[in-house]
Amino acid sequence: MKNKMLAMVLAGGQGTRLGKLTRETAKPAVPFGGRYRIIDFVLSNCANSNIKEVGIVTQYEPLELNVHIGNGEPWGLSGHGKGATILQPFTNSQGENWFKGTANAITQNVSFIDSRDPDTVLVLSGDHIYKMDYDAMLKKHIETGADLTVGVLPVDIKEASRFGIMNTDDTGRIIEFEEKPAEPKSNLASMGIYIFNWKKLRKYLLEDKESNEENKEMLDFGHDVIPAFLENNEKIYAYAFNGYWKDVGTIDSLWEANMEFLDPNHSLNIRDDDWRIYSRNMIAPPQFVSKNGEVKESMMADGAYIEGKVAHSIISQNVSLGENSTVKDSVIMANAKIGKNVKIEYAIIGEYANIKDGAQIIGTHDDIHVIGYEEEVGGNDYENE
């Protein structure tokens, strides 16, 4: 019997640690790799895993993200029997219903999930960079007879105290969950990827809330739902993932992931025709490098116009770089305009930024300089902090 799985992507987080880049943009909508946005990776994983329907939960600054997702057509999620549905907070007779946590976001969309009548629900975060076959994880979920399967990533034991850690027995069954333990007992970090049997999860989210004396709501999967499953001896298994996975929640990690993306031997293998990463992009003219322009060890998207020198950097769609300007170890987002005699190193330049002639934007490997979207810098108006 085929298991019908619905994916629910949690994409409502603010992402405050990305500073200027998420001031007016949802974190999953932040550009990545020259022609993608962060959420493209999880949506492409759904498409490549043959998942037909995806609910995307948005809340913080949703406009740009909602427009990018649209009807899901770039990821093959439009058409008969398919769908990408954007789910936002709403008001009803009981008042406002802002999402108060990961589990609460699912609770408030129970009606949507019920309308799709799934056997299992795949819960995903919309702000991680990775390629993963969710169908293989589902097969393991069915094979073990689990009520819940948690995607886990083996990390260096020295780093394990930074994560939620799953402790397992010899069969892979999770017997204990510790949130950022001072002395971790294992190195299996939760990736925030869950497959639940829907009827079981629904019972915990709704029926238990109505029946328990404290009327306690299940707000968060890590803090509430998984501990409750463990307490009631539900069958929870770990599914180990050994590929590339990156949480790009900080400026440093976002820059680092972009630089890693430049490696032609990167394990993400962006040129793999069997697991493509899809996105929504505007049509732009071909890229152009002038007689005096020079580009080395870099990625350039359509519409780029280069009269200066670029080294080990990502140049996004419709970026222009003036004469005698240099860009090194940096990410230039779409439609940024960079004038003449500009020097940029170890920086992230936001979309539609305008860098005037003669400006110097110099960061370091440990202190990446960020210019926000539509920000104008240079000349006498700007000092590199």
- Residue 385 is predicted with a pLDDT of 45
The predicted structure's pLDDT at residue 161? 86
- Is 164 assigned a ligand-binding role in the annotation? yes
CATH topology of domain 5-261: Spore Coat Polysaccharide Biosynthesis Protein SpsA; Chain A (3.90.550)
Q: Of 265, 145, 156, 159, which is closest to residue 195 (Cα–Cα)?
A: 145
CATH topology of domain 288-377: UDP N-Acetylglucosamine Acyltransferase; domain 1 (2.160.10)
User: In the numeric block, which tokens belong to residue 249?
Assistant: 């929640």
Please list the ranges in the chain whose pLDDT falls under 70: 1, 95-96, 208-216, 379-385
Cβ contact 101:12 at 8 Å: no
Q: What is the pLDDT of residue 211?
A: 57
Annotated ligand binding at 180? The verdict is: yes
Q: Where in the chain is the domain with CATH 3.90.550.10?
A: 5-261
Q: What residue has token string 């990775």?
A: 130
Asked if 150 contacts 192 with a C-beta cutoff of 8 angstroms, the reply is no
User: Do the annotations mark residue 279 as ligand-binding?
Assistant: no
pLDDT attached to residue 191:
94
- Does 307 carry a binding-site annotation? no
Alpha helix (H) residue ranges in the chain: 39-48, 63-69, 102-107, 110-116, 134-144, 198-202, 208-211, 226-231, 251-261
Looking at the chain, the domain(s) classified CATH 2.160.10.10 span 288-377
Task: Give the model's pLDDT for residue 172.
Answer: 96
Instruction: Read off the pLDDT of residues 53-98 as tens digits, 9 standing for 90 and up.
Output: 999 999 888 999 999 999 999 999 988 888 899 998 877 777 667 8
pLDDT of residue 215: 55
- In this prediction the pTM is 0.92
Nearby residues of 310 by Cβ (< 8 Å), 6 or more positions away: 293, 294, 295, 296, 298, 300, 321, 326, 327, 328
Bridge partners of 376, per DSSP, are 354
State the pLDDT at residue 208. 60
Query: Is residue 345 within a helix (H) or strand (E), and if so which, with residue range?
Result: strand 343-345
Q: Give CA separation, 135 vs 46, 142, 173, 180, 254, in Å.
A: 9, 11, 20, 29, 28
Q: In the structure encoding, which two tokens stand for residue 134, read together? A: 């969710």
